[in-house]
Amino acid sequence: MNTGVWVALGGALGAVLRYLLDWLPLGVFPWDTLLVNTLGCLAIGWVAGRTAVDGPRPLPEQARQFLMTGVCGGFTTFSVFSLESVALLQAGAVLPALGYMLATVVLAVLAAGGGLALGRR
């Protein structure tokens, strides 16, 4: 199977996992998207570090693309983050919107870095 098919299959799996988390009753604030993006960044960092050619458990490029581009890409959701940020701003919830945007960026970068460090162990 070519890499594009593996990426598509991974993307489908990631999207279904994302959809299932939408069922969590988390209230009005977009906690689910913050959680998904943070977990996805942790996961992609871990997979990148763990499965790199010089990592502890190298994987073939097709498997890495399935996991990173496919599953993690299908699971995380920058477009929903953006839409929810705009919705909060339009509702006049400026401080929650700014807090959400800041938390998403900071947590995502910290999670990706932490995942990478964990994956390299």
Nearest CA to 104 among 33, 6, 5? 33
- Report which secondary-structure segment, H or E, holds 6: helix 3-21
Query: Looking at this protein, which amino acid is placed at residue 19?
Result: Y
pLDDT in tens, 60-90: 999 999 999 999 999 999 999 999 999 999 9
10 is in an annotated binding site: no
Average pLDDT, the chain: 95
11 is in an annotated binding site: no
What is the mean pLDDT of the segment spanning 92-113? 98
What whole-number distance in Å separates Cα of residue 91 and Cα of residue 25?
Answer: 21
pLDDT the model gives residue 27: 79
Residue 22 pLDDT exceeds 90: no
Quickly count: other Cβ atoms within 10 Å of residue 109's Cβ: 13
Quickly count: other Cβ atoms within 10 Å of residue 18's Cβ: 19
What is the mean pLDDT of the segment spanning 36-56? 96
pTM of the complete model beyond 0.95? no
